Amino acid sequence: MMRKTLAGPALLLSLAVTATLAFAHGDVAPQPVNTDALPEVGEEWLVENPYRADKVGDEVWWQAVMIGDSGFNQNCARCHGLGAVSGGLAPDLRFLEAAEYGDEWFAERFQHGYTQDGTTKMPAFGEILGQKAGWAIRTYIETRPEDGALDAHKDRLGAIRDELMAGGGDDAALKAELMEIAGSVVTASGAPKSDSAALRAALALDGTEAAKKHAAEMLTIGLSAAH
């Protein structure tokens, strides 16, 4: 597992900010996550993510990513950063290995949180959100693209975006090209499948005019995040 090493002054600053944050947000109510669409996983906590594509197929995997996206950004992002890109207050979760060790560590922290010297640094989520939400969030985190994952395709994605905005382009061909670009996106966790603006745009395209605008917006968001 990789960790960012903080230099002395930065570490002190980060600890001070974390303490303030824990105080300011200590009482924030956890936001429920609707996991009805996901397969049941039983009561006992598993040691491995059950929602990977090789186990449940692409469709359920993608549903887990979407549910995890919402669950993460409502419950975890205030400490671990929007889109799981850490601002330094809490560890950057994108680097947690998408393998058994990373899964076990994730499940442990998710269920029990972390308390140090009587201070809750991270609340426990296991009882409140449940196991299905936990693994959905895990699925979302491990599919996060590496920093700058779309940089090599920036110009082409911008051109596709403009084409879609103008309502032009051959839908099926653009969808296939976006899927191909999405397939080249690498995760920081080592997970074989990644989420990206290119994938979201490709999946949005369904042959309708409204979908073209929607896909164009996803690319705009992805391209602005890349800068």
Of 56-64, 105-113, 178-186, 216-224, the segment contacting ligand HEC by CB under 6 A is: 105-113
Q: Residues touching ligand HEC: how many (CB under 6 A)?
A: 20
Q: Looking at 14, 85, 104, 121, which residue binds ligand HEC (CB under 6 A)? A: 121
Q: Which of 53, 61, 63, 109 binds ligand HEC (CB under 6 A)?
A: 109
Rg (the chain; Cα; Å): 19
**Closest separation in Å from C-beta 10 to ligand HEC:** 15
- The phi, psi pair for 115, rounded to 5°, reads -120, 135
Which range of residues in 35-43, 118-126, 175-183, 211-219 is near ligand HEC by CB under 6 A? 118-126
Q: Which of 65, 137, 160, 199 binds ligand HEC (CB under 6 A)?
A: 137
Query: Which of the ranges 59-67, 107-115, 173-181, 191-199 carries the binding residues for ligand HEC, by CB under 6 A?
Result: 107-115
Angle between helices 209-225 and 154-165 (to 10 degrees): 150
**What are the two backbone dihedrals, phi and then psi, of residue 116, each rounded to the nearest 5 degrees?**
-130, 125
Torsion angle in degrees (nearest 10) through CA of 215, 218, 224, 227: -90
Token duo for residue 168: 């032009």
Helices (H) and strands (E) in the chain, counts: 10, 2
- One symbol per residue from 63 to 92: x for binding ligand HEC (CB under 6 A), - otherwise; what is it? ------------xx-xxx---------xx-
Given the DSSP bridges, would you call strands 119-122 and 114-116 parallel, antiparallel or unpaired?
antiparallel
Q: Are 225 and 197 in contact (CB under 8 A)?
A: yes
Q: Which residues bind ligand HEC (CB under 6 A)?
A: 18, 22, 25, 75-76, 78-80, 90-91, 93, 96, 106, 109-110, 114, 121-122, 125, 137
